[in-house]
Amino acid sequence: MYFQLEKCTIRKAQARNRACILFREGFIMKKKQVLCILLAGAMAVSLAACGSSSASTSSSGASASSGSTGSSDTLIVGTEAGFAPYEYMSGDEVVGVDMDISKAIADDMGKKLVIKNMDFDGALVAVQSGKVDMVAAGVSVSDERKEVMDFSHEYVDSTEVVVVNASQPNVKTAGSELAGSDLDGKIVAVQQGNIADSWVSSGDNCKPSDIKRYTKFAQAAEDLKNNKVDCIVMDQYPAQELVSSNPELKVMDGVLFEDKYAIAVKKGNEELLTEINKVIDKLKEDGKIDEFISNHASSAASSSDSSSK
Amino acid sequence: MIAAGSWGAAFTRAFLTDHRYLAYLSGLKTTALISVFAIILGILIGLVVAVGKVSAKGNRKLWIIGGICNIYTTVIRGTPVMVQLLIIYNLVFTSRNTNEIVVGAVCFGINSGAYVAEIIRAGLESVDRGQMEAGRSLGFSYLQTMRLIIVPQAVKNILPALGNELITLIKETSVAGVIAVTDLTKAAQYVGSVTFDILTPLFIAALTYLVIVLILTRLLKALEGRMSRSDRY
């Protein structure tokens, strides 16, 4: 160790005092320079990142205070792409019925649509904090939600159904029709923050022994196949997609409850809400929304058909 | 044969059908971007904090700097990275134009900085005290001794642990999905959401992480080999 030190010291001292430029020293200097440049570059990049993020903070602060989105040329929509046919991944893009509607709204406003793919409950928080302009993710209108965000006109009627294991269904219809009481004492799977979550969580509707809240329906389906849960409560269209790819599962006859989907915006954002309502009314009038649904329902089904062949 | 066939079909559905490999690729890009910037930021923060800690140890006047550095490492190492990520996302970066990749890089960089600081501090302290004493007695200043004698020896001790931290960091970015960023893990989950077969995409993601880590391990080994060329024990 001391030997090492001596060598090193002597070499440095030589280089320093006599300024003799050895080839070796030159090499070391070069390496040092490279390191310096690298560090400087890294610093510049990180500073630039900080600068840009702080700049965007200030600009958004301005737009938030004016309470409008008019200053920006983008329309940011939050969604959760695990809800075919309303929203799902195709390649590396998020597509679906809600995305078609969002696109129509963005086109009408002359803005560029930016899709942010997040957890469903996260999207509902993001719209309140203004991180996204609106949420189009099969959001059901409920009184609780109305207190913290505003809703557009409803654009689709949704029907909530019960999915069970086909070979050993643990949920049975006791009366003539499917009812909430059929879920009493069962382990029920829902998507976290989804309308089915609040419906089954309310003691007035049913009294399940346990409610398991998932962020992805695919995970819930896997657990249902393994009988870790007794049933999944979800919208009928995604449920049909789910059982078409999973023959082990089936949709129970009957409807658990019905509700309507709308687009959620930040509370008080009247300007954007008016725009959205205008476009939704037009789409409904032209029968475009049914067209979107049949497009996506069939395309998702056909792609799973072709792959199973 | 049947098993192999169904595996092939599952793979095709999870990777090829509908250009789904694009989802993995863009997820991989996000993971790589977050990792690279987080590593750079982490090493920068780690260096500063480690130097602050080591200097404060030998100098009573620097107790404030030492205290700040200690609080930083204690808080960051004492809380889960996922919670840190959610707090930073919802408390600091609340703007509408937030770039989630920047949030991820900053958060993982700050997180990694605490671990890197401890690694570098341990490396600096692993160099025999006699080296500093000898350097000082030969007329070098404290900083000169550090720069010319202590740090070059410490780097060798630091490298393996630092490499380990980089590998951990890359894998840890898989929790970035809790904010609205689609990294490799989340991309795999979304592919699973379309096909309703969650396992195959997860295997593909796992394999991708494994390949990245293997490549990185090779590179680090080569670097360590280069560093140890001057060893004469």
A29 within some domain: yes
Contacts of A44 in chain B (CB under 8 A): none
pLDDT-based confidence at B3, cuts 50/70/90?
low
- The pLDDT value given to residue A99: 95
For residues A297-301, average pLDDT? 58
Contact B192 A216 (CB under 8 A): yes
Domain count, chain A: 3
A131 touches chain B (CB under 8 A): yes
Q: How many helices (H) does chain A have, and how many strands (E)?
A: 10, 13
Decide if pLDDT at B73 tops 90. Answer: yes
The token pair at A21 is 């430029």
Residue A221 and residue A139 share a domain:
no
Measured distance CA(A21)–CA(A14) in Å, rounded: 9
- The pLDDT value given to residue A104: 95
A78 within some domain: yes
Contact B195 A245 (CB under 8 A): yes
- The pLDDT value given to residue A207: 92
- The pLDDT value given to residue A21: 40
Decide if pLDDT at A55 tops 50. Answer: no
Residue A137 and residue A114 share a domain:
yes
Q: With a CB-CB cutoff of 8 Å, which residues 42-71 of chain A face chain B?
A: 42-43, 45-46, 49, 52-53, 56-57, 59-61, 63-64
For residues A30-48, average pLDDT? 50
The more confidently predicted of residues A224 and A22 is: A224
Nearest to B148 among A12, A82, A92 (CB): A12
Of B36, B54, B34, the C-alpha closest to B181 is B34
% of chain A at pLDDT higher than 70: 73
**How are beta strands A93-95 and A74-79 bridged, if at all?**
unpaired
Is the link from the previous residue into B152 a cis peptide, with omega within 30 of 0?
A: no
pLDDT one-digit tens code per residue, B145-180 = 988 999 889 988 899 999 999 999 999 999 998 887
Contact B135 A82 (CB under 8 A): no
Residue A219 and residue A167 share a domain:
yes
Q: Chain centroid to CA A182: how far? A: 31
Amino acid at A14: Q
Residue A253 and residue A269 share a domain:
no
A87 touches chain B (CB under 8 A): no
The token pair at B226 is 């280069």
Contact A218 B12 (CB under 8 A): no
Contacts of A219 in chain B (CB under 8 A): 192, 198
3-class secondary structure, A215: coil
Contact A241 B140 (CB under 8 A): no
Instruction: Answer yes or no: are the C-beta atoms of B114 and B73 closer than 8 Å.
Output: yes
For residues B25-32, average pLDDT? 94
Amino acid at A116: K
With tokens 């005290």, the residue in question is: B129
- The pLDDT value given to residue A34: 52
For residues A106-126, average pLDDT? 91
- The pLDDT value given to residue B228: 80
Decide if pLDDT at A57 tops 50. Answer: no
For residues A44-59, average pLDDT? 41
Q: With a CB-CB cutoff of 8 Å, which residues 152-191 of chain A face chain B?
A: none
**How are beta strands A210-214 and A93-95 bridged, if at all?**
unpaired
pLDDT-based confidence at A143, cuts 50/70/90?
confident
Task: Count CB atoms within 10 A of the CB of residue B139.
Answer: 10
Substitution target from A7, A46, A215 for chain B, most B beta carbons within 10 A: A46
Q: Which residue of A has its CA nearest to B37?
A: A46
Task: Count CB atoms within 10 A of the CB of residue A23.
Answer: 6
A63 within some domain: no
Task: Count CB atoms within 10 A of the CB of residue B75.
Answer: 11
Q: What is the DSSP string of A260-280?
A: EEEEEEETT-HHHHHHHHHHH
Q: How far is CA A227 from CA A163, A245, B193, in A?
A: 12, 18, 19
Q: What is the DSSP string of B166-213?
A: HHHHHHHGGGGGGSS---HHHHHHHHHHHHT--HHHHHHHHHHHHHHH
Decide if pLDDT at A49 tops 60. Answer: no
For residues A195-215, average pLDDT? 90
pLDDT-based confidence at A64, cuts 50/70/90?
very low
- DSSP code for A174: -
pLDDT-based confidence at A298, cuts 50/70/90?
low
- The pLDDT value given to residue B13: 84
Decide if pLDDT at A25 tops 50. Answer: no
Measured distance CA(A308)–CA(A280) in Å, rounded: 36
Of A142, A185, A182, the C-alpha closest to A162 is A182
Contacts of A60 in chain B (CB under 8 A): 95-97
Instruction: Answer yes or no: are the C-beta atoms of B169 and B108 closer than 8 Å.
Output: yes
The token pair at A19 is 């300024």
Cα distance from N-terminal residue to C-terminal residue, chain A:
70
Residue A149 and residue A36 share a domain:
no
The token pair at B91 is 């408390």
**Residues of the domain holding A242:** 157-259
- The pLDDT value given to residue A33: 56
Of A179, A83, A75, A94, the C-alpha closest to A140 is A83
**How are beta strands A74-79 and A231-235 bridged, if at all?**
unpaired
The domain segmentation of chain B, as residue ranges, is: 19-227
Instruction: Answer yes or no: are the C-beta atoms of B102 and A49 closer than 8 Å.
Output: yes
Contact A56 B95 (CB under 8 A): yes
Q: Which residue of A has its CA nearest to B15?
A: A91
Q: Which residue of B has its CA nearest to A243?
A: B196
Contact A92 B187 (CB under 8 A): yes
- The pLDDT value given to residue B233: 59
CATH 1.10.3720.10, applies to B19-227: yes
For residues B82-88, average pLDDT? 92
Residue A265 and residue A148 share a domain:
yes
A89 touches chain B (CB under 8 A): yes
pLDDT one-digit tens code per residue, A233-261 = 999 989 998 898 889 999 999 999 998 99
A231 touches chain B (CB under 8 A): no
- The pLDDT value given to residue B164: 92
A61 within some domain: no
% of chain B at pLDDT higher than 70: 97
Give the sign of the dihedral formed by CA A204, CA A207, CA A213, CA A214: negative
Instruction: Answer yes or no: are the C-beta atoms of B138 and A10 closer than 8 Å.
Output: no
A60 within some domain: no
Contacts of A307 in chain B (CB under 8 A): 9, 12-13, 17
Measured distance CA(A5)–CA(B128) in Å, rounded: 11
Q: What is the DSSP string of A9-38?
A: HHHHHIIIII----HHHHHHHHHHHHHHHH
CATH number reported for the structural domain that contains residue A280 in this entry = 3.40.190.10
**Which long-range contacts (C-beta less than 8 Å, at least 24 apart) are formed by A176-182?**
A177/A254, A178/A252, A178/A253, A178/A254, A178/A255, A178/A256, A179/A256, A180/A205, A180/A206, A180/A256, A180/A257, A181/A206, A182/A206
The more confidently predicted of residues B215 and A194 is: B215
The token pair at B55 is 């200097």
Amino acid at A263: I
pLDDT one-digit tens code per residue, B112-142 = 999 999 999 999 999 998 999 999 999 999 8
pLDDT one-digit tens code per residue, A192-203 = 888 899 899 888
